[in-house]
């Protein structure tokens, strides 16, 4: 069994109003050393695959067809054996 | 004149648009549940507004994986006319029938109000309309986004169909509606079906639906 850990965030070129709102609140609290903040989502997916390579290939395919809209989002994928 | 309206779990404007097309334009409306396919060639297919699949993951993202959408894609590729309103527009971008994507409104607020739309295109149904149209919007994720190359291509090809006079949501290039390159697929965030009947106090949506049905 494998677990795919996927972090999805808006691309750098896309304005992230959620992130900007949180950042503004932190600055209002005087935490001005926080230079930037982006809000994204974390997806965890368990895969009953035969090999690491097979699980990684399936996870990547699912990311790019379903979980991520590559027009606006980017993702980081890590697959671990459990 | 036959029109198909596709209903997804969470669609809530399907009956609105269907009843308007029936009562105001005499269309014969058939509703297609998302699990069903179709292979006929109606005058128009409508993807209505609402919250398909609860807007989970992303607006419109789940709807593209349905039998009905497979039929819509093949119908559109054969030149069939498709109108996507609000969530329908989001589904059209997610399914790749239209370029770009819809993001959260810049203010992060859900906006429900009348807006002034300027029909702009020379090459699409926009040219059928005159003056500014007052049409309601009701959305939380309606800010149109596309990369700069895509925006340039849309402008160059005359695919921008409607612009907001005063941008309510942060859409790039004030875009409220676009069509595909061949002009048979139109997606727009404002709801023309809510401005057709004098009881609603607005009639400007009629021009849009009329132009779509006759083009």
In three-state form (DSSP H/G/I as H, E/B as E, the rest C), the secondary structure along B132-173 is CEEEEEEECCCEEECCHHHHHHHHHCCCEEEEECCCCCCCHH
From B137's Cα to the closest Cα of chain A, the distance in A is 20
Q: Do B106 and A67 touch (CB under 8 A)?
A: no
CB-count burial class (<10 Å; 0-12, 13-18, 19+) for B127:
middle
The residue whose two tokens read 């959260």 is B104
> Nearest Cβ partner of A72 from B103, B108, B170?
B103
Q: Do B93 and A71 touch (CB under 8 A)?
A: yes
- At B215 the pLDDT is 63
From B63's Cα to the closest Cα of chain A, the distance in A is 11
Q: How many CB pairs under 8 A join A and B?
A: 34
- At B140 the pLDDT is 95
User: Would an 8 Å CB–CB cutoff place A32 in contact with chain B?
Assistant: no
pLDDT digits (tens, 9 = 90+) for B89-106: 999 999 999 999 999 999
Work out the percent of chain B whose per-residue pLDDT is above 90: 88
Average predicted confidence (pLDDT) for chain B: 94
Q: Do B104 and A18 touch (CB under 8 A)?
A: yes
The residue whose two tokens read 């001005």 is A32
Task: Please state at what angle helix B14-25 crosses helix B205-214, rounded to 10 degrees.
Answer: 70
User: Would an 8 Å CB–CB cutoff place B199 in contact with chain A?
Assistant: no
Element (H, E) at B69: helix B67-77
The average pLDDT across B101-127 equals 89
For residue B119, pLDDT over 90 is answered with yes
The average pLDDT across A61-80 equals 97
From B51's Cα to the closest Cα of chain A, the distance in A is 17
Name the residues of B annotated as catalytic.
86, 191, 193
pLDDT digits (tens, 9 = 90+) for B68-96: 999 999 999 999 999 999 999 999 999 99
Residue B66 neighbours by CB under 8 Å, 6+ apart: B8, B34, B35
User: Would an 8 Å CB–CB cutoff place B57 in contact with chain A?
Assistant: yes
Element (H, E) at A11: none
The average pLDDT across B115-120 equals 94
- At B123 the pLDDT is 66
User: What pTM does this model have?
Assistant: 0.94
Query: How many alpha carbons lie under 13 Å from residue A24 in its C-beta half-sphere?
Result: 6
């Amino acid at each position: 069994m494998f677990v795919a850990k996927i972090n999805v965030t808006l691309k750098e070129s896309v304005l992230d109003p959620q992130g900007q709102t949180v950042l503004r609140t932190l600055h209002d609290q005087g935490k001005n050393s926080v230079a930037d903040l982006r809000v994204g989502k974390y997806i965890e997916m368990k895969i009953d695959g035969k090999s690491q390579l097979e699980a990684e290939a399936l996870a990547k395919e699912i990311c790019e067809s379903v979980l991520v809209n590559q027009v606006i989002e980017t993702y980081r994928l890590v697959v671990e054996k459990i | 004149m036959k029109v198909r309206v596709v209903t997804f779990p969470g669609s809530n404007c399907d009956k609105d648009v269907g009843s308007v097309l029936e009562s105001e334009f005499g269309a014969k409306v058939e509703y297609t549940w998302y699990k069903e396919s179709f292979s006929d060639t109606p005058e128009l297919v409508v993807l209505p507004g609402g919250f398909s699949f609860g807007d989970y993951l992303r607006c419109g993202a789940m709807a593209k994986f349905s039998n009905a959408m497979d039929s819509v894609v093949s119908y559109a590729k054969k030149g069939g006319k498709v109108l996507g309103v609000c969530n329908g527009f989001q589904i059209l971008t997610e399914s790749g029938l239209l370029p770009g994507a819809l993001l959260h409104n810049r203010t992060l607020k859900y906006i429900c109000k009348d807006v002034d739309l300027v029909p702009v295109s020379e090459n699409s149904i926009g040219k059928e309309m005159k003056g500014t149209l007052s049409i309601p919007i009701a959305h939380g994720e309606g800010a149109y986004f596309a990369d700069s190359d895509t925006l340039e291509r849309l402008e160059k090809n005359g695919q921008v169909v409607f612009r907001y006079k005063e941008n309510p949501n942060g859409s790039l290039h004030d875009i409220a509606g676009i069509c595909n390159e061949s002009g048979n697929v139109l997606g727009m965030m404002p709801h023309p079906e809510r401005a057709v009947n004098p009881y609603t106090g607005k009639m400007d949506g009629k021009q849009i639906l009329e132009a779509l049905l006759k083009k």
